[in-house]
Amino acid sequence: MVDLAAIIVAVAFVVLVFYLVPTILQLKRTVGQSERLLIRLNHELPGLIKEVKGTNENIRVMTEQARLGVDRATVFLNAVGDVGQTVNHVHHAMRGKGGTILTGVTSLMAGVKAASSVMKRRVQKEQEGGRYHGD
C-alpha cells in the first residue's frame, strides 16, 4: 500500500512538472521581453520628457501672447466704442442745435489752426537761432 501511494505521488509530481515547465518557460520569455522594454523606455523616455517640457513651454508662451492680444483688443474695442458714443453725442447735438454748433466748431477749428501756425513760426524762428518778437 505504501508502494502504491509512492507511485501515485511520483506520477502526480511528473504530471505537475510537465504542466509547470511550459509555464515557467513562458514566464522566462515574458520577463526577458519586459526587461528589453524597460531598457528601451529608459533610453527613449528622457528625450520624450524633454519634448513634452518644450511643448508645454511653447503652449504657455502662446497662451500668454493670446491673453495680451485679447487685452489689447479689449482696450481697442472699448476705445472704438467710446469714439462711437462721442460721434453719436455730436450727431445728436448737431441735429438739435444745428448751425450754431457747426459755426462754433468751425470757429474753434480756425482758432486751433491759427494757434498752430503761430507756434510753428515760433519754433522755426527759435531753431534758426533768433528769438521770436511777435513778427
- Sheet strands (E) in the chain: none
The pLDDT score that the predictor gives to residue 98 is 58
The answer to pTM > 0.85 is: no
8-25 residue pLDDT tens: 989 998 888 888 899 999
Measured in whole angstroms, how far is the alpha carbon of residue 11 from the centre of its chain? 72
Helix (H, G, I), strand (E, B) or coil at 95: helix
Residue 125: is it exposed, middle or buried by C-beta count within 10 angstroms (0-12/13-18/19+)?
A: middle
Predicted confidence band of residue 65 (pLDDT cuts 50, 70, 90): very high
* Sequence letter at residue 10: A
**Domains in the chain: boundaries:** 2-70, 98-135
Amino acid at 61: V
pLDDT in tens, 102-115: 677 777 788 888 88
